[in-house]
């Protein structure tokens, strides 16, 4: 017996989907505009999870250039059938509905390589796959209702899927339009077969405070589906804004080797008020069956702080403290792969300065890590030369419209590095701090962020001067409740020439992420 702490995947890991192959579990989550995309985690006990790769990890698999923040890769579903892993997902451009769509990729090893995307002729989001025991396969997803009875009503569709042709075939079936009259965004659907009947699990209420898990079942995969009288079967929306975990929903079920049932789902942990800087995280709850219906978190109906996993193994938990070398799988970039914007040289990165920057909805010179702990220190060293008008440094990123830059400015006296702290809030820029350091960028500048709750202290120093505070930021201005969007915060290093042609390069080293 192991006591597992929730969330099982801290930091921005939304829309989890899980499957089991033998004694191993595999889990994928959404990544929106960040690449590599769709991280695959593996566990043998639902307790300890290892990042083993990403499904979207090669240049050219997808084009996200120009996509605004919170566009990109939405709500993947991971399944295993016929000796292969199947992953179905949506690429969304929030400003261009004609760009993107639903695609399928496959792999024999979930760590990769994954196949090139095969696009399906269907609209909507949040697709899923169900492989029936009669040999037939079915794709299903959600879209805005064709004949809505209220604003933001959606509907779940179903069509047969040909795994050989990788295409949808046969007629479409409308399965579900929500459990609650007036309820919005019936989405994230998954179908399972339980004791000869078909179970539909879907989210409802939108992915914020009114999120919930709904269940329906049918005698045939094509329906009709009747809702569980207990709907919503899991939600924290009735607990209000002061709950420890809010916005609970988007569940996926898995049966363990011992026959017990479990669900992974998303939720957010607010702190400092209704602010969730870590974004939507992945949680685990037990499931039991009563009269053929699933009961989530039996006895409490709430996502617990800890979960008893009977087959869990004991071990030392990862405290999140690590020096992050270039080969670490957690590195991400925005709309591009890390290897497309930087070169790994030993334990350091070479980061060429680009004309694009954090304000642009384009790939830019950025290497980042999810914030996965409320209290954390992130530090790094940059070395090089920057021309007048260029800058590079530490970036705390929510989006191009909401972020903080601890920037070393180019030009000026070679032996005195100039540093500024700039807050971009809903597209408006405010300078919050400035410092001149005794020492040059050519000799190396140390930059750090010390997050303690909602206080983000930004520090800068050189070999001659230990890092000192330049400014402290109120993190409540950066989370998705304040700024909109679907993401938690990322911290990392960036560089930009602000539109100028440049040949400047920064050397990035000694990157440390230390949970406190």
Would you please indicate which residues are annotated as catalytic (active-site) residues?
15, 187
Q: CA–CA separation, 498 vs 385, rounded Å?
A: 15
Q: CA–CA separation, 407 vs 415, rounded Å?
A: 16
**CA distances, 142 to each of 122, 126, 203, 229, 502 (Å):** 10, 6, 10, 22, 46
Q: What letter does residue 234 receive in the DSSP assignment?
A: B
Nearest to 133 by CA among 255, 202, 221: 221
**DSSP for 24-67?**
EEEEE---BTEESEEEEEEESSSSS-EEEEEEE-STTS---TTP
Q: What letter does residue 32 receive in the DSSP assignment?
A: B
Q: CA–CA separation, 75 vs 77, rounded Å?
A: 7
Q: CA–CA separation, 73 vs 335, rounded Å?
A: 11
How many residues are given for the chain? Answer: 516
CA dihedral 41, 43, 49, 52 (to 10 degrees): -40
Q: CA–CA separation, 222 vs 172, rounded Å?
A: 9
Report whether 356 contacts 75 (CB < 8 A).
no
Q: What letter does residue 340 receive in the DSSP assignment?
A: H
Cβ neighbours of residue 134 under 8 Å, at least 6 residues apart?
none
Q: Strand pairing partners for 422?
A: 405, 431
Q: CA–CA separation, 419 vs 421, rounded Å?
A: 7
């Amino acid at each position: 017996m192991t006591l597992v702490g929730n969330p099982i995947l801290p930091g921005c890991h939304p829309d989890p989907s899980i499957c089991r192959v033998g004694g191993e579990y595999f889990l994928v989550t959404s990544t929106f505009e960040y690449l590599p995309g769709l991280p695959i985690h593996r566990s043998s006990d639902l307790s300890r999870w290892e990042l083993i790769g990403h499904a979207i990890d090669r240049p050219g698999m997808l084009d996200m250039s120009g996509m605004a923040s919170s566009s990109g890769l939405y709500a993947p579903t991971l399944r295993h059938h016929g000796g292969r892993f199947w992953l179905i997902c949506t690429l969304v451009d929030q400003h261009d509905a004609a760009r993107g769509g639903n695609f399928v990729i496959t792999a024999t090893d979930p760590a990769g390589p994954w196949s090139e995307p095969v696009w399906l002729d269907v609209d909507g989001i949040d697709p899923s796959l169900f492989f029936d025991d009669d040999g037939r396969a079915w794709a299903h997803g959600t879209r805005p209702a064709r004949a809505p009875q209220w604003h933001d009503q959606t509907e779940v569709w179903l069509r047969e899927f040909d795994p050989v042709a990788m295409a949808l075939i046969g007629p479409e079936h409308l399965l579900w339009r929500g459990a609650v009259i007036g309820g919005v965004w019936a989405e994230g659907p998954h179908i399972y077969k339980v004791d000869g009947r078909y179970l539909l699990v879907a989210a409802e209420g939108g992915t914020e405070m009114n999120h919930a898990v709904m269940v329906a079942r049918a005698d045939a995969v094509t329906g009709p589906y009747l809702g569980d009288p207990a709907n919503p079967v899991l939600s924290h929306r009735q607990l209000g804004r002061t709950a420890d975990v809010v916005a609970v929903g988007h569940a996926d079920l898995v049966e363990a080797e011992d026959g017990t049932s479990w669900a992974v789902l998303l939720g957010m942990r607010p702190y400092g008020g209704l602010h969730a800087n870590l974004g939507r995280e992945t949680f685990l709850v037990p499931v039991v069956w009563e009269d053929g219906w699933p009961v989530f978190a039996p006895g409490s109906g709430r996502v617990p702080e800890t979960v008893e996993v009977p087959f869990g193994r004991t071990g030392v938990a990862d405290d999140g403290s690590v020096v992050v070398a270039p080969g670490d799988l957690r590195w991400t970039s925005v709309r591009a792969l890390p290897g497309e914007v930087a070169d790994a040289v030993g334990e350091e990165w070479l980061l060429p300065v680009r004309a694009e920057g954090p304000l642009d909805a384009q790939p830019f010179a950025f290497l980042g890590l999810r914030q996965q702990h409320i209290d954390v220190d992130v530090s790094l060293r940059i070395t090089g030369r920057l021309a007048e008008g260029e800058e590079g440094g530490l970036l705390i990123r929510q989006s191009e419209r909401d972020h903080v830059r601890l920037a070393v400015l180019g030009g000026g006296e070679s032996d005195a590095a100039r540093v500024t702290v700039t807050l971009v809030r809903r597209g408006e820029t405010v300078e919050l701090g400035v410092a001149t350091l005794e020492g040059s960028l050519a000799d190396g500048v140390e930059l750090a962020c010390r997050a303690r709750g909602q206080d983000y202290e930004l520090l800068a120093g050189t070999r001659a001067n230990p890092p000192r505070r330049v400014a402290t930021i109120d993190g409540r201005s950066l989370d998705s409740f304040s700024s909109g969007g679907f993401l938690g915060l990322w911290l990392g290093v960036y560089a930009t020439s602000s539109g100028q042609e440049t040949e400047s390069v920064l050397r990035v080293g000694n990157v440390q992420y230390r949970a406190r």
